[in-house]
Structure 1
Amino acid sequence: MILVTGATGHLGAAVLHTLLQRTAPQHLAALVRDPAKATAWHTRGVHIRVGSYTDPASLDSAMQGIDTVLLISGGGDDDGLQQHQNVIDAARKAGVRRVAYTSRALQDPASLANELMVRHFQTEHYLQASGLGYILFRNILYMDTLPLFTGPTVLETGISLPAGQGKVAYALRSEMGEAIANVLLENTGGNHTYHFTGSEAYSFHDVAAALTQASGKPVAYTDVESSVLAARMRERGVPAVAIQRTIGFLTDIKHDQEAMVSPNLEAALGRRPTGLLEGVKQLYQL
């Protein structure tokens, strides 16, 4: 049986959607904090396990009878690493065969500006040392985040970000979920690491060009200093920690941390991942 954590989130839902297309629901379980939010999965026959990354006792119970756990990384909580370790510890105690973890595809973890990303690699190391079988899904930045970076008025104001000429091999979250599910259903033994990226890396100049082509309106990208973006975010009342993380993301993009291109996603999907232009049309409803 496969247990999918974070099953009511975007990525977890995408994984379960594909799993249900390819295997019987009695082989699937969903870990959720609030069962009321998982009624759609329950109705389709998925076993619902109630638990939280912060509650080891609930995790111990949720792991019973599970063969494979998909640990979807948590949010930005200060104790995020401990939460991941709690899941891995519970899996080991319950005799789970393998744990798959959704990590990040970054070029050089030792030189990251966004310190929040470091915990992904700390989690990887903890899992590798646990003695459990493991699968590491190192995922690139979701293409779905582009509207968050560009803002709701991008077609009128253009893109102004401190990302330089840096590139990202964006991929759609839904396609990553589909690929993860496909890999989980394979019966290959051993430990594996997959880098799930798009087939091409794009700068924000490329994003602006795609928006221009899709909308018919001229959209330009302007590279600005980090201090300019930080000041704009403060004016909008954005919390300091959110500003720091956003600047960290964009600094890493500027340094090409997200520019890795791998064939792994295309192989797991069995088709070429959605490119930037088609992705922009979907995400911006153009």
Structure 2
Amino acid sequence: MILITGATGGYGNSTIHALLNKGIPASNIAALVRNKEKASDLKSKGIELRIGDYSDYNSLVKAFQGIDKLLFVSGNDIKARENQHKKVIKAAIEANINHVVYTSFIRNTSVEDSAIGFLQDSHAKTEKWLKESSLNYTTLQNASYFENIPMFIGENVLDTGVISLPAKEGKSNSVLRDELAEVTAHILVSEGHNNKIYSLTNPEAFSYKDVAEILTKISEKEIIYQSPKAEDYQETLKQYGVPEEYIELLTAFSLAQVKGELELSDNSLETLLNRKPTTIKEYLSNVFN
């Protein structure tokens, strides 16, 4: 039995569909959810729903019973994540889970020097705990998602004609989340992945200037990219009433891109997909054309 955590979120849900597309019977898939009502679509497909919360150790131990492989999708509560992840690993050990696949993030600099250290710290610690545990594990150091790009450049970028981010000429090897999920499903149902770490990135790196040029071509509207100072960028967002947590997140990832933290070339994704990953031009054409 395979248990998918974060089953109602984008990554977990996409992995479930990838497993079904591979012909894995729904009866062999379980979904960890906090609210069964929000997972009625999964239940209707014949997938077993198990109630559990990363903050509730006993619920995890109960939900993990009889599970052979676990997709451990990293928690989205950054402040609580370290403590939550400890509980997940401890519960997996107690439940005698055979193999844990963990979704981490690409890392090419030390946590101490990272512009997104608040995110990387819990990932690095979780990877360390898995290595030191008795569990078989696979760590997926995923690149950032293409799906986050509209949040960064603005949903109405074709109307505004401007991309404004303090990312300078920094580049990213972002990927399509559904393709990460497809690879995750492959790893969950195939052999040879025990105690391995995969960096899953796109072969093609791009900057926001590249994004502006691609959007200009596909929309036939001039889109310009400007890179203000971080403090000016933050002040502008405050004036538009953007919540502080989003301002911090957008700024941190932009600065990480300046430092090259989102740029990492690796062929693992292409190898595991057995095809070329979706390109940034293909993604933007699908979303903004």
Bin of the TM-score, shorter chain as denominator length: over 0.9
Contact 1:76/1:116, CA 8 A, preserved across alignment:
no
SS in 2 for 1:188: coil
Cα distance in 2 for partners of 1:282, 1:199 equals 19
Long gaps (5+) in structure 1 = none
Residue type of the partner of 1:20? Answer: L
Shift of 1:164: 1.1
Residue type of the partner of 1:143? Answer: F
Shift of 1:17: 0.4
The corresponding residue for 1:112 is: 114
2:95 pairs with 1:94: yes
Shift of 1:99: 1.0
Cα distance in 1 for partners of 2:199, 2:176 equals 14
Shift of 1:210: 1.1
Deviation sequence 1:85-104 (CA, Å, 0-9, x none): 11111100010112111000
RMSD (CA atoms): 1.2
Shift of 1:246: 1.9
Cα distance in 2 for partners of 1:39, 1:153 equals 33
2:157 pairs with 1:154: yes
Q: TM-score, normalised by structure 2?
A: 0.95
SS in 1 for 2:79: coil
Shift of 1:15: 0.5
The corresponding residue for 2:198 is: 194
The corresponding residue for 1:44 is: 45
The corresponding residue for 2:129 is: 126
Cα distance in 1 for partners of 2:278, 2:115 equals 28
Deviation sequence 1:159-187 (CA, Å, 0-9, x none): 11100111001111111111111111112
The corresponding residue for 2:80 is: 79
Tell me the number of residue pairs that the alignment of Structure 1 and Structure 2 aligns. 285
* Structure 1 residues 245-284: aligned runs within 5 Å: 245-284=249-288
CA gap of 1:253–1:189, structure 2 versus 1, over 3 A, is: closer
Contact 2:144/2:175, CA 8 A, preserved across alignment:
yes
Residue type of the partner of 2:186? Answer: N
Cα distance in 1 for partners of 2:224, 2:108 equals 27
Residue type of the partner of 1:116? Answer: F
Runs (4+) of structure 1 exceeding 6 A deviation are none
CA gap of 1:189–1:207, structure 2 versus 1, over 3 A, is: closer
Q: TM-score, normalised by structure 1?
A: 0.96
Cα distance in 1 for partners of 2:110, 2:225 equals 27
Residue type of the partner of 2:84? Answer: Q
Shift of 1:280: 0.5
2:239 pairs with 1:235: yes
The corresponding residue for 2:186 is: 182
Shift of 1:136: 0.3
Contact 1:196/1:264, CA 8 A, preserved across alignment:
yes
Contact 2:99/2:194, CA 8 A, preserved across alignment:
no
Residue type of the partner of 2:19? Answer: L
2:143 pairs with 1:140: yes
Shift of 1:130: 1.6
Which is worse superposed, 247-256 or 235-244?
235-244
